[in-house]
Structure 1
């Protein structure tokens, strides 16, 4: 049950980050996109 909840949180973190990433790429702010990507990687690392 705990694992399931962790997975759901991880998936929502990734989804949220991808949405931000897509928006930043569309507005052509590559630096911000890189920051979001780094943040996502950090969160994924925390949840492993």
Structure 2
């Protein structure tokens, strides 16, 4: 999924329904120059976002 997003350096990335943040962790690892914004409405899941 990260490859399909075609994220480039300096891009702003929005991840709605971030869950525990697994996808966000992969995005950070592959694209450290991108700005990542996460949204998670579930208090349980939001407490586990890394």
TM-score grouping bracket, smaller chain normalisation? 0.3 to 0.5
Bigger proportion of residues as strand: 2
User: Larger C-alpha radius of gyration, 1 or 2?
Assistant: 1
Higher helix residue share:
1
